[in-house]
A = this chain, B = another copy of it.
Amino acid sequence: MKTSSELSLTLAFDLEGFFNERQALIDGELDRLLPGESVEPVSVHKAIRWSVFAGGKRFRPILMLTTGEAFGASPGVLLATACALEMIHTYSLIHDDLPSMDDDELRRGRPTCHIRFDEATAILAGDALQTLAFQTIAEESLLSAEKRVLLVSELGHAAGTPGGMVAGQARDLEAESRAVTSRELEGIHRLKTAALIIAAARCGAIIAEATDPELEAVGRYAAQLGLLFQITDDLLDITATVETLGKTPGKDARAQKATYPSLYGIETARQRADLVHQEACAVLKQIDRPTKRLRAIADFILRRKA
C-alpha cells in the first residue's frame, strides 16, 4: 500500500497536466472576454491585460472548474463564470497593490499595474474588471437566468462587504502594526482570501446543480483550502526567494504584519497547515462524488513552492 505522501506525489503529477490544460482553456476564454489592447480607452485595456495575463496560477477558476466537473457539469458551461472569478481576483490584486493600500511595486516578478502604468489607470482597470465580471455572468447564455442571478449574488457576497473580500482587506489594513489575536487573523483571512475561494467551489457546484448538503460540504472543503492557501502564502513569504516567489519576500515581517509564522513560529505554522489539509480531505470523504482532483488540489497547495 502506498503511503499518504507517495499517493500525493502521484496525484500531484496527474494534476499538473490537468492544471495546464485548464489554465490554457481559461486563458483563451479570458482573452476572448477582455477588450483588446487597441480598443479605446487603450491605457485601461492595456493595464487590464497586463494584470490578468501576468502569469497567475488561475487557482480560483481551476478550483471552480474542478468542483463543477466533479458534480457533473462540462467545462463549457463553467468557463465564463470561472473567468469572472479571475476578473474579481485580479481587480482586487490591482487595488490592493496601490500606494495607499499595500504599496507593492512587484507582483509575479513584474511591476504592479500602477507602477507599469499610473495610479489612475490602475484604479480604473480594477473598476472595469469588477464590472466585466458581473456582466460576463449576466450575459452567459449557456446558463439559465435563474442560475446567473444565483451566481452574481454568490460572487457579490464573496467580493464585497460585510462578508467578503473587501471587508477582509479593510480589516487587514486596520490591523496593521497592532497586535492581533490568532482568532482575528483567521477572521481576516476568511474574508480576504477564503471568501472568494469558497465562492469558486460553490459556483461550480451551483452550475452543476449540486444539492444543498453538497453545496454546504463543498463550502466547508473550500474554507479549509482558503485557510491552507493563506498559511502556505505566509510561510512562503518567509522561506522563499524573490526568484521563486516573483514578489519581494519578507515584506510581511518588515511591515510588522500579523502572519501565521509571526504568531505561531514557522514549525507550528507548518503543523497547522498539515492539520487544515487533513480537515479539507476529511470533508471530501463525505461527498459521494469523484473528488480525486479536489483532493489533489489540496495536496498541491500544501506543497506549493510559489
Q: Which of A126, A130, A169 has the most CB of B within 10 A?
A: A130
- Our pick among B98, B128, B145 for the contact of A145 (Cβ within 8 Å) is B145
Q: Enumerate chain B residues within 8 angstroms of A131, measured Cβ to Cβ.
A: 130, 156, 159-161, 164, 166
Cβ of A202 under 8 Å from chain B? no
CB distance A127 to B171 under 8 Å?
no
Which residues in chain A, 166-214, are within 8 Å of chain B measured between CB atoms? Answer: 166-167, 169-171, 173-174
List, in ascending order, chain B residues with CB within 8 A of A126's CB: 127
What is the CB-to-nearest-CB distance from A231 to chain B, in angstroms, rounded to a whole number? 23
Interface segment among A8-16, A56-64, A134-142, A249-257: the answer is A134-142
- Chain A interface size, as a band, is 35 or more
Q: Per-residue 0/1 for A13-30: is the Cβ within 8 Å of any B Cβ (1 yes, 0 no)?
A: 000000000000000000
Complex Cα distance A164/B149, Å?
22
Bound-state Cα–Cα, A156 to B153, Å: 15
**B interface footprint on A89-122 (CB within 8 Å = 1, 0 otherwise):** 0010001001011000000000000000011110
Q: How many copies does the complex hold?
A: 2
State A148–B149 Cα separation when bound (angstroms). Answer: 7
A43 part of interface (Cβ distance < 8 Å): yes
Report Cα–Cα, A170/B132, bound state, in Å: 16
User: Is the CB of A123 closer than 8 A to any CB of chain B?
Assistant: yes
A152 CB within 8 Å of chain B: yes
CB within 8 Å of B: which A29-57 residues: 35, 39-41, 43-45
With A41-B161, A166-B44, A166-B131 given, is the CB distance from A156 to B174 under 8 Å? no
A120/B146 in contact, CB under 8 A:
no
- A162 proximal to B (CB < 8 A): yes
Chain B residue with Cβ nearest A131: B160
Q: Is the CB of A160 within 8 A of B145?
A: no
- Is A124 on the interface with B (CB-CB < 8 A)? yes
Q: Is A270 an interface residue (CB 8 A)?
A: no
The CA of A173 and the CA of B123, in the complex, are separated in Å by: 12
Q: Which of A101, A146, A152 has the most CB of B within 10 A?
A: A152
Complex contact B123–A135 (CB within 8 A) = no
- For A164, the chain B residues whose CB sits under 8 A away are 131
- How far does the Cβ of A270 sit from chain B's closest Cβ, in whole Å? 30
Determine if A157 is an interface residue (Cβ-Cβ < 8 Å). Answer: yes
- Inter-chain CA distance A120–B124, complex, in Å, is 15
| Contacts beyond the supplied A120-B170, A145-B146: 20 A-B pairs with Cβ under 8 Å | A40-B162, A41-B170, A41-B171, A43-B170, A44-B170, A45-B161, A45-B162, A91-B127, A95-B127, A121-B170, A127-B127, A127-B130, A128-B161, A131-B164, A132-B161, A135-B152, A138-B150, A139-B156, A145-B148, A148-B149
7 contacts between A and B (CB under 8 A): A41-B174, A43-B170, A123-B123, A124-B169, A128-B160, A131-B166, A145-B149
